[in-house]
């Protein structure tokens, strides 16, 4: 069906930008996705008073789209007022200039004796299986460079505390927002590089990082809760770092969060972007960083194992376009709620976009554009990883 409508020039420019810089193949796909997501949000608001995206099983944690659900208005204001006026402590005078990378994300003064860090608790092999798409890592966690930066930042806060974890009560949200403020400066710096080298959203180094302008306050709060850490009303931790098991919650009378051993290893490895080790921004990670994260995922993050295996299996079968992958993933979407196919496809599209972006960062698949047509393919490194993942999934 063809529908014509009057599109204001400013909205047309936004649509053009979405087509050229994101994962939408054409105007139709972008508009359809927007309508599907609006329906989901309206339905969630009617049922719960707030729109949530994420796992929809009753016992699973939801990620709130409305930031006031993540941090109450009064608490949010308290964080902003206190943290914007608070002078930096013994971490040092963090570099606030937009012309360079903030010191909190560099290797400067970052040391750790890894032999003293306990090994991560391995996932029992019997728990590695094919997971439902809605149990994959949330699709909005769509880049891994923020994970690298945030591991370093948390490492420096932990070192400042004499190696102790960061207390969940009162401290984690404040520190997460302080990291988000520094990430905004890093985002400003990386956006200049993206502009200088004409890197679009697909390949840009700044993608997923917030900005430092006053209008970007919500993006900084979103970054703090999604890419650093969020604490819910029960004290549970969520976010990209938690889902990737790069941080963990300590069980004690005064619970805290700390980096896992893979989190420390990731933080301590050199990085081409954060350590200015390339003349022009091309690579987000060195091969040893990629190898570390892939090895960690294969052994310790079963939901990501399942997601990677499902996507690469579909690519191997010839389904390479986003809409083909989404349709095929319907069989892997399990929900207790009755949802029509369009709502399921909207959720699947979010999950697929997130996992494919993370896989591209790890150099195991790559994205190709031919005009408005978008497809994915497996790299040579990815073929080796797929064989490993297949053995893990099939064996259990």
| Tens-place pLDDT, residues 185-233 | 999 999 998 998 998 888 899 999 999 999 999 999 999 999 999 999 8
**Does 89 score more than 50 pLDDT?**
no
The residues pairing with 370 across neighbouring beta strands, listed in sequence order, are 373
Asked whether the beta carbons of 306 and 376 are under 8 A apart, the reply is no
- Across all residues in the chain, what is the average pLDDT? 82
Strand pairing category for 256-259 and 247-249? antiparallel
Distance CA 111, CA 102 (A): 17
| Tens-place pLDDT, residues 23-74 | 445 566 567 556 655 655 555 445 544 444 444 433 333 333 333 334 444 4
Task: Give the residue among 176, 173, 165, 171 at the shortest CA–CA distance from 232.
Answer: 173
Asked whether the beta carbons of 386 and 310 are under 8 A apart, the reply is no
| Tens-place pLDDT, residues 105-145 | 999 999 999 999 999 987 765 556 788 999 999 999 999 99
Task: Give the residue among 336, 349, 283 at the shortest CA–CA distance from 136.
Answer: 349
What global pTM score does this model have?
0.78
The lowest-confidence range among 50-59, 256-265, 337-346 is 50-59
Task: Give the residue among 114, 112, 110 at the shortest CA–CA distance from 92.
Answer: 110
What pLDDT score was predicted for residue 336? 74
Task: Give the residue among 314, 378, 354 at the shortest CA–CA distance from 53.
Answer: 354
All residues at 6 or more sequence positions from 44 whose CB lies less than 8 Å from its CB, including other chains: 50, 51, 52, 53, 65
Task: Give the residue among 49, 23, 59 at the shortest CA–CA distance from 357.
Answer: 23
Beta strands in the chain (DSSP E): 52-54, 62-64, 166-167, 230-231, 237-238, 247-249, 256-259, 365-370, 373-378
Q: Residue 34 is inside which H or E element, if any?
A: helix 27-48
């Amino acid at each position: 069906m063809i529908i014509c409508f009057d599109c204001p020039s400013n909205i047309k420019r936004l649509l053009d930008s979405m087509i050229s810089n994101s994962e939408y193949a054409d105007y139709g796909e972008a508009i359809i996705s927007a309508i599907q997501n609006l329906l989901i949000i309206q339905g969630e608001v009617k049922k719960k008073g707030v729109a949530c995206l994420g796992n929809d099983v009753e016992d699973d944690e939801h990620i709130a789209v409305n930031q006031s659900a993540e941090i109450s208005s009064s608490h949010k204001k308290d964080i902003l007022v206190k943290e914007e006026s608070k002078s930096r402590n013994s971490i040092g005078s963090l570099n606030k200039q937009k012309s360079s990378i903030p010191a909190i994300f560099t290797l400067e003064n970052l040391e750790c004796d890894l032999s003293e860090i306990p090994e991560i608790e391995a996932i029992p092999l019997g728990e590695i299986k094919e997971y439902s798409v809605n149990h994959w890592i949330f699709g909005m966690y769509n880049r891994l460079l923020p994970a690298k930066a945030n591991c370093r930042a948390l490492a420096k806060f932990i070192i400042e505390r004499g190696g102790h974890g960061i207390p969940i009560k009162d401290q984690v949200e404040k520190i997460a927002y302080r990291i988000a403020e520094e990430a905004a400066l890093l985002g400003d710096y990386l956006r200049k590089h993206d502009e200088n080298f004409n890197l679009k959203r697909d390949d840009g180094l700044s993608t997923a990082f917030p900005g430092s302008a006053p209008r970007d306050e919500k993006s900084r709060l979103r970054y703090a809760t999604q890419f650093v850490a969020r604490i819910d009303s029960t004290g549970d931790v969520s976010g990209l770092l938690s889902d990737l098991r790069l941080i963990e919650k300590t069980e004690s009378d005064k619970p805290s969060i700390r980096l896992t051993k893979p989190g420390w290893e990731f933080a301590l490895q050199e990085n081409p972007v954060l350590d200015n080790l390339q003349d022009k921004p091309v690579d987000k990670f060195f091969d040893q960083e990629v190898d570390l994260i892939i090895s960690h995922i294969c052994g310790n993050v079963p939901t990501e194992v399942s997601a990677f295996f499902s996507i690469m299996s579909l690519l191997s079968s010839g389904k390479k376009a986003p809409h083909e992958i989404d349709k095929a993933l319907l069989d892997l979407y399990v929900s207790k709620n009755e949802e029509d196919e369009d709502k399921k496809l909207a959720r699947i599209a979010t999950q697929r976009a997130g996992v494919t972006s993370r896989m591209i960062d790890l150099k195991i698949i790559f994205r190709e554009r031919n005009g408005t047509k978008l497809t994915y393919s497996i790299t040579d490194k990815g073929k080796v990883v797929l064989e490993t993942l297949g053995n893990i999934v099939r064996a259990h």
